């Protein structure tokens, strides 16, 4: 479950996750989904010029995180760029430590219940179940919620737009969207109109689920 700090970072329970080989194309794509309404974006540190992109994207009302942070050095670089949160793909204690010392939120990647427990022990603010597909799915999140009802959970890796609702219904707190949002052909061609349309579809799906939950 999201505490106040995480609610401010992920108000729509969504995160746009950009991983791309050309920094200029990546930045244009991220700007397109932000302008369409996304209020949380993650730029992976494997993207060229990631730190500079993070710095340029920072603005009121939109949290910008750094993803694929796998070393203390990358954590320091992302924090210096102004990243609002750090995300790892697996258990990385030194990243959790760096985030804690800097007062930055940290999302630690895990897959099994044991790894989720270990991530929490490292001080993770949220645990990312990665990859979400094809290994787990919404059913896995629902099962995980039994023994871990209060753990803030993020899913990422293979999540399609039509799975947003089921994941949120199963107890996921944040859904990270990668290629389903940033379709490689659209990013490569600079098709910002189509990227914005996908962003609006994702936001509508999350809003619909939130409305049902409130009934």
pLDDT value at position 11?
A: 97
User: If phi over 0 gives left and psi between -120 and 50 gives alpha, with beta otherwise, what is residue 171?
Assistant: left
What's the Rg (C-alpha) of the chain? 16
What is residue 62's DSSP assignment?
B
Enumerate the domain spans of the chain: 4-214
What pLDDT, on a 0 to 100 scale, did the predictor assign at position 133? Answer: 83
- Could you report the per-residue pLDDT of 132-172, keeping only the tens digit for each? 987 779 999 999 999 999 999 999 999 999 999 999 999 99
Short-list 101, 166, 178, 179, CA closest to 136? 166
Q: What is the pLDDT of residue 134?
A: 77
Query: What integer pLDDT is reported at residue 212 of this predicted model?
Result: 60
Whole-angstrom Cα distance, residue 42 to residue 15? 7
Catalytic residue among 24, 35, 115, 128: 128
| Beta bridge partners of residue 85, listed in sequence order | 65, 105
Give residue 211's pLDDT: 60
Tell me the fold of 4-214: TIM Barrel (3.20.20)
Percent of the chain with pLDDT over 70: 98
Residue at token pair 């270990």: 118
Q: pLDDT band at 214, cuts 50/70/90?
A: low
What pLDDT does residue 135 have?
76
Angle in degrees, 0-180, between the axes of helices 23-35 and 192-214, rounded to the nearest 10 = 40
- Any catalytic annotation for residue 128? yes
DSSP state of 1: -
CB 68 within 8 A of CB 87: yes
Range 164-187 average pLDDT: 97
The confidence score (pLDDT) of residue 215 equals: 37
Asked if 118 contacts 93 with a C-beta cutoff of 8 angstroms, the reply is no
Of 25, 27, 42, 163, which one is the catalytic site residue? 42
Residue 33 confidence (pLDDT): 98
Structure tokens at 140: 């896995």
Measured distance CA(78)–CA(50) in Å, rounded: 8
- Write the pLDDT tens digit of every residue in 42-70: 999 999 999 999 999 999 999 999 999 99
The C-alpha atoms of residue 11 and residue 47 are separated, in whole angstroms, by 25
Note if 8 is an active site residue. no
What pLDDT is recorded for position 80? 98
């Amino acid at each position: 479950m999201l505490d106040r700090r995480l609610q401010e970072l992920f108000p729509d329970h969504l995160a746009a996750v950009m991983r791309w080989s050309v920094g200029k194309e990546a930045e244009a794509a991220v700007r397109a989904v932000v302008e369409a309404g996304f209020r949380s974006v993650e730029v992976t540190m494997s993207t060229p010029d990631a730190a500079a992109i993070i710095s340029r994207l920072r603005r009121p009302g939109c949290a910008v995180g750094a993803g694929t942070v796998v070393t203390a050095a990358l954590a320091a670089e992302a924090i210096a760029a102004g990243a609002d949160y750090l995300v790892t793909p697996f258990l990385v204690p030194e990243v959790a430590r760096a985030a804690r010392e800097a007062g930055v939120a940290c999302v630690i990647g895990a897959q099994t219940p044991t790894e989720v427990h270990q991530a929490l022990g490292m001080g993770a603010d949220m645990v990312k179940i990665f990859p979400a597909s094809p290994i787990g799915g919404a059913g896995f999140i629902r099962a995980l919620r039994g023994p871990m009802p209060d753990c803030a959970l993020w899913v990422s890796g293979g999540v399609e737009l039509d799975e947003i609702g089921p994941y949120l219904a199963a107890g996921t707190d944040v859904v990270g969207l990668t290629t389903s949002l940033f379709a490689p052909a659209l990013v490569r061609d600079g098709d910002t109109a189509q990227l914005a349309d996908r962003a609006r579809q994702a936001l509508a799906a999350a809003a619909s689920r939130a409305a049902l939950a409130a009934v």
